[in-house]
Amino acid sequence: MNANNSDKPGETKDRVGYQRPPEATRFKKGVSGNPKGRPKGSLNVATVFLKTLHEKVVVNENGQRRTVTKLEAALTQLVNKAATGDLRALRQLLELAREAEARQSLPAAQNVVLSDLDHEVMQGILERFSGSQT
C-alpha cells in the first residue's frame, strides 16, 4: 500500500482529498474568519435606543424645573394627551399598560413552575442516591 493513502500513524501530512484540504488553505489557529468584522465597542440599535431613553432632560412642571429621563418625559406627555381625550394616545397608553402588567405577572408564574420542576428533579436525584447506597 502507498504511504500517502494509508491511515496509519506514520501517514504523511501532505495527503489531500475528502475532508483533507491542502495545508495552505486550512483555517489558521488564532485567526478570525472575519478580521474586518464588527469593531469592538460599536453599539447596536437597541443599545443606542435604551441609552437615548435614559438621557436626562430638564422640564418645567408647575413652574418648577425638574430633571427627568427622556422616557419619563415622553410617557408623561403620552398620559397628558390621553387625559385630554386624544384617542390615539389613549390606545397607545392602554397597550403599554397591558404589556407592563403582563411582564409584572409573568416572572411570578415562571418562578412557581420552575420551583416545582426543581423540586421534582431534586426528589429524583435524592431517590437515585438513596437507592444506590443501600
Question: Which helix H or strand E contains 61, and what residues bound it?
Answer: strand 56-61
What does DSSP assign to residue 24?
A: G
CA-based angle 25:27:29, to the nearest 5? 135
pLDDT of residue 123: 79
Closest CA to 72 of 83, 62, 63, 61: 61
Residues 6+ apart with CB under 8 A from 97: none
pLDDT tens sequence for the chain (134 residues):
444 555 555 555 678 899 899 988 888 888 877 888 888 888 889 999 999 999 999 999 889 999 999 999 999 999 999 999 889 999 999 999 989 888 887 665 555 556 777 778 877 877 777 776 65
Distance CA(30)–CA(17), nearest Å, equals 24
